[in-house]
Structure 1
Amino acid sequence: MTTTETRAGVLPAMAEVPAAELRVAVLGVGIMGADHVARLHSRVSGARVVAVSDAAADRAEQIAATVPGCRVIPDPLTAIADPGVDAVVVASPGRFHQEQVLACIAAGKPVLCEKPLTMDADSSLAVVRAEDAFAARTGRRLVQVGFMRRFDPEYAQLRALIAAGELGEPLLVHCAHRNATVPPHFTSEMMISDSVVHEADVARFLLDEDIAAVTVLRPRASRHAVPGQSDPLLVLLETTSGRLIDVECFVSTGVGYEVRTEVVGEDGSAMIGLDLGLVRHAAGGSGAARATGIAPDFRQRFGRAYDIELQRWSDAARRGGIDGPGVWDGYAASAVCAAGVTALRSGRRTETRLVQR
């Protein structure tokens, strides 16, 4: 990703786009969808939210009221087909993604689908094949998957450093993915499919190769873990060329949202996601150091990445295509997570089943 500057407020340089305003429908306006509506309305140029759809009618009405002229369309498939909608953001629960993304492809409308692309590898592969068929007819790609870390300036810098050979051949990647808390229904399997999925995509993005196998270890559980669940987890990803990525996934730290990535190469190492405050991070309490400089949640940590992602998607959608991770990236991540869940349950190394095009 090429940027003119990396400070807040300066977006990547893009080719000139048509002047027409992109009319966007947002499906699902929970935490993520509502954030996308606000960002499209106030921070992304060339796009306008014209419709929202959500199973919770009151919530949909509340969000629509924040954008002048925005309509509520209760049925998401009706929203996709609406002639006043040019493009779609899918932020609905994952179980609805396949149907909604396939409807976007059938309608020929660009779509940004939040992860996961679908709930399992087989249905993700079905979406890949549907878009491949559309691309064969039209020469266009429509589906972009919401792996926002690819748009984060630090990750872009790290990828450029690797590509330039400044670290030599990368050998190891160390990752930490920590949340302060998660809801009571958040299972160990969801730690793989909702959290580690980002590291699976980041590894492919940085190293430019697929994940061949997954091993999951269960350390002693934190007393703050969701009852009956293993938290933290240690996940080991193996690439096709033999590189290793270890991921510490800890979703009940009580501290904040911490995401760090270190690449160790033959000739040096580089780390991103370091905090500017204390080295020691601890939850608040009597006699405990209170951590500073740690983002409270993902929206603050990756706010800049979301700005860039939505602007680039909007610009590309106005041209009829995408500018970011596509259906194959979504499918590859689903395949890694499927292997990860199997490895979690079995306690054994599990190879990734990735069906080639």
Structure 2
Amino acid sequence: MVLSISSHAIAPAAVLRGEGAWQGALSNISALCFRPLLLGRSRATFSLRDALASDLVGAGLAPQRAELQFDCCEDDLQRLMHEASDCDAVVAAGGGKVLDAGKLLAHRLGLPCITVPLSAATCAGWTALSNVYSTQGAFQGDVALERCPELLVFDHSLVRQAPTRTLASGIADALAKWYEASVSSSDSSDGLVQQAVQMARVLRDQLLIDGPLALQDPNSAAWARTAEACALTAGVMGGLGGARCRTVAAHAVHNGLTQLQACHHVLHGEKVGFGILVQLRLEERLGGNRLAGQAHRQLLPLMRQLQLPVSLDDLGLSAASLSDLREVCAFACREGSDLHHLPFAVTPGALLEALVGAAEPIPAVP
């Protein structure tokens, strides 16, 4: 009998969540390090990071400040490795790109990593994975890490200060867990994969109910459930079920769209949400899946309600040339792309048709 052994990095070693979680985490951080590198990027969160740095000093630590100049890219990482040479941990505070860079930096330096999401736009604070981009913001590939962060601090009072748009983007990114995992892994005989797929289904159902309510009232229980679902729970599926439960066509479309400068202002989850609509069209047209048409009809009005992009025009690509769109499709369909986790072949031409028609209603079949 041949034993099949698999390795899983499922969750951070510790997670502190709720109102005031950051203050509660200071003793945990002090137990992990003395001179952490406090990594950030956005001007919008500069004052928040100032406060975090002051709190670290007040806790008896000697933080060193550093900032990304680009997305999570090699140029920044090489520079930061020198800047962090005398640090004993990385505290990454910000959005997904900052969290990814902090995790990868800590991985390369062999240091503890503490993630402090300042929005609920992605589950990057949870996962053992980092996406790497060019200095122009074009997706290049992902890097699997040995472990999830040592500590994740999800302070509701910090996250609540993020623009509402970031939570809507997080909802789209988290919804993709079901639409991607269900098509790529639902027939797996692996018990953990099956359980990850069913968790993604429950996550989708919760977001369909709570998502609109969360955006209406950031002080509601629905907001807390939704924010934690996007930033925390969504990270579990990939760790439990593996790469096939993480990304399929929706994320492949995102990766292709990042190759165009014209839509770099669009958030990660917004591109992924658009990619879900594209994937459902591919499933319905190429895979003959009638349920995909039903899912498209259910999802399209929700995305419009959440003010998420559902068309190329919404993405800022109304003036994109056919050559630009073909570049997107060629990248999304390249060898090794997550798009090929679909149970049928997709050509760049078929993908282009689905991109253009993403927002077109799929008629119900009697």
Using the size of structure 1 for normalisation, the TM-score is: 0.37
Which has the larger share of helix? Answer: 2
Higher strand share: 1
